[in-house]
Structure 1
Amino acid sequence: MDSIIAYFEQLDPILAALYATLFTWGLTALGASLVFLFKKMNRIVFDGMLGFTGGVMTAASFWSLLAPGIEMSDGNGFIKVIPAATGFLGGALFIFALDKILPHLHVNFKESRKEGLKTPWHKSVLLTLAITLHNIPEGLAIGVLFGGVSAGIEGASIGGAVALALGIGIQNFPEGFAVAMPLRGLGKSRWKSFNYGQLSAIVEPFSAVLGAWAVLTFEPILPYALCFAAGAMIFVVVEEVIPESQLEHNTDIATLGFVGGFIVMMTLDVGLG
């Protein structure tokens, strides 16, 4: 792991963010590739994986984003937390707006429950866009953190950025699976189901590069940007991931998955950051 961190330390931050999110995209594709091995998805396993995803995203929001964002803010007391509160609210409202605009359909929901603007798009596209919505703040968070490291801002570290990329990559594995398997159940070919599954994470490299560029160009926004990504991720967890994991009443499995995901991400961040 030390050699990986040393490698990323030598890279341009935008290139480092790109490489890190190509890794997370690759793990999404790996998860989607399970469609070649299985004919259907076990709902209990799926809910456990959804819970795990929520746990990783929640832990990453605090350990990798909110805590460093507060630490690097100026001032004391209530003044010090203003950038964090402002950024967090902005990120949540950003995903809220996307949720209302972007046409999408959550896994195992009927087509009558699709969200966003009305569109004639096929169910397969809507399912893919639902997971894509999760990946926007994830890629942004990785890019912002790498940008902060390059800017030399206290509280941001290469180890923390690598830990975040690793944790998000791990939880992207079940996300790829979560798109590909339902599409297979809809009658799509294995190859087409795989392609839709891996494409759900293609937004991560783009949002990561944008995040790194923004921080490098407008350095004072880093505390706001970190907390913006945190707010976006927490909104996704509370509004989509947790409710979906509880839909079939596999509450214990989903909750234990959440706890496991939180522990994994917390351990990675503290151990590497």
Structure 2
Amino acid sequence: MIIDFLSGQSPIMQALFATLFTWFVTALGAGIVFFFNNVDRRILDSMLGFASGVMIAASFWSLLAPAIETAENQGVPGWIPAVVGFLLGGIFLRLVDAVLPHLHPALANSEPEGIKTKWQRSVLLVLAVTLHNFPEGLAVGVAFGAVASNIPSASLAGAVALAVGIGLQNFPEGAAVSIPLKREGLSSKKSFMYGQFSGAVEPVAGVLGAAAVYYMRPILPYALAFAAGAMIFVVGEELIPEANSEGNSHLATTGLMLGFAVMMFLDVSLG
């Protein structure tokens, strides 16, 4: 039913609907703040590990593999756009990470990163998650744009599977920002609003990604690899270190394995 509905839409509208869904799941995760003042750290670390596994699997099955296939169909050695785009995605996130003022939820007692600013800590916490939600929305948008390019390995069902996987891992991310905000002294309502707002960048990135590859198809393999590199940067820079910061490495690793398996199943079975 969902596939039938999306099949009648343009790639840009498909990406918009899909990333609105991922934003909605972020809001669901942020809504935990209305019921709990804290979340058991073991549960949160397991969920962050799960999110890492989803993003790693999605980076290959939904992004890098189609990037290689697309490049070869264009008569270009598949490894060139895969490697170049992948590294550019990581470099881009690193540059933004170095400039944009933000404060990681797991390191809330440390000094903010990025340029110096007098912004409130609550804003810096939200910006950290917002920064890392951008490549997720971009990945979904590029995936739907790839479907319009008629790549054999890119299917509408596969793009939907990617959106579902990103949505699943957005739940703990929403909780990971709203709970620290409440501990910072904000009300439950404000913590929820800030927490869900961190996912608002995903529809913007999704539409931009879909439009870019739809109207400039030669860049498609580079865009797919770019999104993969940006997501892997987030996993290595933020999710895995945060999931292991409280000594729950076994739970985090188990979550990572399960997240990878779930995303692999969704992509291969539906794609």
TM-score with structure 1 setting the length: 0.96
- For residues 30-69 of structure 1, what are the alpha-carbon distances to aligned partners after superposition, in whole Å with 9 as ceiling and x for unaligned? 1111111112121111111111111111010011001111
Deviation for aligned residue 1:222: 0.6
Partner of residue 180 from structure 2, selected from 179, 182, 187: 182
Partner of residue 202 from structure 1, selected from 196, 200, 203: 200
Within 5 Å, which residues of 2 pair with 1:1-273? Answer: 3-74=1-72, 79-273=77-271
Judge conservation of contact 1:41–1:182 (CA < 8 Å) in 2.
Answer: no
Deviation for aligned residue 1:79: 2.4
Judge conservation of contact 1:147–1:213 (CA < 8 Å) in 2.
Answer: yes
Provide the C-alpha distance between the structure 2 equivalents of 1:66 and 1:80, rounded to a whole number of angstroms. Answer: 10
Counting aligned pairs with the same residue, the percent is: 59
Number of aligned residues: 271
Judge conservation of contact 1:111–1:123 (CA < 8 Å) in 2.
Answer: no
Provide the C-alpha distance between the structure 1 equivalents of 2:119 and 2:199, rounded to a whole number of angstroms. Answer: 19
Cα–Cα, structure 1 residues 75 and 160, in superposed 2: closer, same or farther, change >3 Å? closer
Provide the C-alpha distance between the structure 2 equivalents of 1:179 and 1:115, rounded to a whole number of angstroms. Answer: 16
Q: 4+ residue runs of structure 1 moved beyond 6 angstroms? A: 75-78
Does 111-120 or 161-170 show the bigger shift? 111-120
Judge conservation of contact 1:99–1:116 (CA < 8 Å) in 2.
Answer: yes
What SS does the corresponding residue of 1:94 show, helix, strand or coil? helix
Deviation for aligned residue 1:150: 1.5
- For residues 144-173 of structure 1, what are the alpha-carbon distances to aligned partners after superposition, in whole Å with 9 as ceiling and x for unaligned? 111111232332210111000000001101
Provide the C-alpha distance between the structure 1 equivalents of 2:78 and 2:69, rounded to a whole number of angstroms. Answer: 8
Deviation for aligned residue 1:110: 3.9
Judge conservation of contact 1:140–1:211 (CA < 8 Å) in 2.
Answer: yes
Provide the C-alpha distance between the structure 1 equivalents of 2:75 and 2:45, rounded to a whole number of angstroms. Answer: 40
1:22 partner amino acid? L
Structure 2 gap segments, 5+ residues each = none
Structure 1 gap segments, 5+ residues each = none
2:242 partner amino acid? E
Cα–Cα, structure 1 residues 78 and 14, in superposed 2: closer, same or farther, change >3 Å? closer
TM-score with structure 2 setting the length: 0.96
Provide the C-alpha distance between the structure 2 equivalents of 1:225 and 1:110, rounded to a whole number of angstroms. Answer: 33
Provide the C-alpha distance between the structure 1 equivalents of 2:185 and 2:63, rounded to a whole number of angstroms. Answer: 40
What SS does the corresponding residue of 2:113 show, helix, strand or coil? coil
Provide the C-alpha distance between the structure 2 equivalents of 1:72 and 1:39, rounded to a whole number of angstroms. Answer: 47
